[in-house]
Amino acid sequence: MRGYLASSIGVTCAAVLTLPFALPATEAGPGERGPSAGTAGPGTADTRATSAAGPVAEQAVPGETQSLPLVPLTGPRGGTAPEQGLKPQDVRSFSLVGVVWDDPGAELRGSVQIRTRATGTGRWSGWQDVETHNSDHGPDPETAESRSSRVRGSTAPLWVGDSDGIEVRVRAADAPKAGTTRAPMLPDGLRVALVDPGAESQPGATTQNSHTAASAPQSGGGAPADTPGAGAPSDTPGAGASADAPGAGSATSAPNADLAPPNAMEIPALSKAATEEALNKATLEASDGSEGRAGPYIGPRPRIVTRHGWGADEGLREGGFIYTDSVKVAFVHHTASGNNYSCSQAPSVIRSIYRYHVVSSGWRDIGYNFLVDKCGNIYEGRAGGVAKPVMGAHTLGFNSNSTGIAVLGSYGSVDPPSAAVDALAELAAWKLGLYGLDPRGKTYLESAGGNLYPKGTNVRLNVISGHRDGFATECPGRLLYGKLGLVRSIAARLQGR
C-alpha cells in the first residue's frame, strides 16, 4: 500500500466529551448493525471495556466507534456523487479514522482525504491522505469470514491522535476504468469510522522492548527507550460477555498455555538453548517418545506482548479460533496508518486497528497474526496462539498456510527503524523455525484467488515474502520491502544456519 504520513498531533488520554449538540451514532459490534445512514442525533456508545497496556485508571474510558454517513459535496442531492464527504464537524474523541462502504467487492477508485482537530489545542491539521487500496487485505474468497454479511469495503486506517473534530472529502477518479468510457463513481454507503481505542497506559509504565541478551539487534541500530507499559490491565469482560464466554480473556490465552500463564501480559523471551530445549520437548511429546528433534534450526523466542498485554477487548471478536494446516510463508506488511505515534501509544494504535477491522470492516478479528512497532516490540495479533498456524486476514488469496506480520506505520517513503527490522527477523527466525523453515528458502502456496494469481495457481514464493509478492499492491511499502533481504539473512543467522 502507499505509505502516507499523518501530520503530527498531540495525543492525550482519550476522554468522552460532553457536548451541547447532537453527536454521531456509534457503530455496532459483531452480529449487530449500527444506526441506519439516515440516523441523526446522539448514538449509544459501545461500552465494552477496552483495557490499556499499562495500569488502568479508576474509571477507564471504553473504546467506541462513531460511524457517520458521508453526503454529496457536489452534484445532485441523493444517490452517488463524484464527491462526498463531511463539512467540519464536532464529534466525540477519537484517534484513528477510516472510510467504509457497503459492498466489500466494490473498489473505491479515487482519493480520500481528512482533516482533524486536535483535542485540547483546537488546532486543525492539514489535509491528510488515507490509503484507499485496501482490498488486498482481508479474508480469502469463499471462506466463511469473507461471506459474512457484516463484511464491508474499507480504506486503510489512519492514526491521527486524540481528536474531536473531523472534515472529510472523497473524490472519484477522473480517469475512466480501463476498457470503459465512463468515469468511475463512488461506492454506495460511504461512511467515516472514527475509532476511540479506550484508555491509554498510565504515564511512566514502561518495559523492555523485545531485544534481549538472548536476541540482540543485528542490523546495527538500537531500539529507542520508549516502550509500551507493562502494568496489569482490567480483566473485566466486555458488556454482554462472561468470564467463560467465547472470546473472554481466559479462553483467548489458553492456546498460549505452554508459553505463559493465563492472562499473562507478555510471553517472555528465551535464549536459543532454552528455545531448542522447549522445541525438542514438544517434539518428543508429540511423537512416540523414542527420540527428540536434535539440533533444530530455530531462533531464540523473542518477547511477545500478548493480546491481554495490549488490552484487546475480547468481547469484540468472534468466538473460537480458525487454523490452517501449517505455516510455509511469512508475509510482511505495513499498516499504512502513519508514523506519528510513540511506542508507548502502540497498544492504543493496535486496539484501534483491531476495532476498525472487526467493527467497521466486519472481519472476525484483527487481520494480522503479529504486529511490530517502531521500537521493535512484538505483539500477538489474531487470537489462537502465537506458536500455532492461525488463519489471518492479511494477504488476500494466501491466508492459508501463512502468517502475517505488520509493522505499525507507513514505509513507502520513510525507512523502517532498524529496531523494527531486527524484530521482524527475530520473530521470523522463531516462528518459521517451529515449522522447520529456512528464512532464505523458497516454497509453494496455492492461490485462493486475487488480482495477481488466479485461484488454484501454485505460486513459488520466498519463505519471507512481502505482501506485494502475493497481490498487486504497494504494501509493505517500497523501503520496508527493500529490507526483506536483510531480514532473511538475520533470521537465518539467528537460526544457526
Say what the pLDDT of residue 56 is.
32
Say what the pLDDT of residue 449 is.
83
- Helix pair angle (418-433, 272-286), 10° resolution: 30
| Residue 296 CB coordination number (10 Å) | 17
pLDDT band at 96 (very low <50, low <70, confident <90, very high): very high
Q: Phi-psi category of 144—alpha, beta or left, where left has phi over 0 and alpha has psi -120 to 50?
A: alpha
CB contact at 8 A, 305 and 227? no
Compute CA distances 129 → 132, 160, 260, whole Å.
Answer: 9, 11, 41
- Longest CA pairwise span in the chain (Å): 76
pLDDT average, residue stretch 22-26: 48
Report the candidate in 416, 384, 415, 179 with the shortest Cα–Cα distance to residue 404.
384
12 secondary structure, DSSP code: -
pLDDT band at 350 (very low <50, low <70, confident <90, very high): very high
pLDDT average, residue stretch 234-246: 33
Give CA–CA dist 456/449, Å, rounded: 7
* Whole-prediction pTM: 0.80
Say what the pLDDT of residue 451 is.
79
**Is the bond preceding 476 in cis, omega lying within 30 degrees of 0?**
yes
CA torsion sign for 470, 475, 481, 487 is: negative
Say what the pLDDT of residue 228 is.
39
Greater confidence (246 vs 415) lies with: 415
Say what the pLDDT of residue 76 is.
52
Average pLDDT of every residue of the chain: 79
CB contact at 8 A, 439 and 492? yes
pLDDT average, residue stretch 296-308: 95
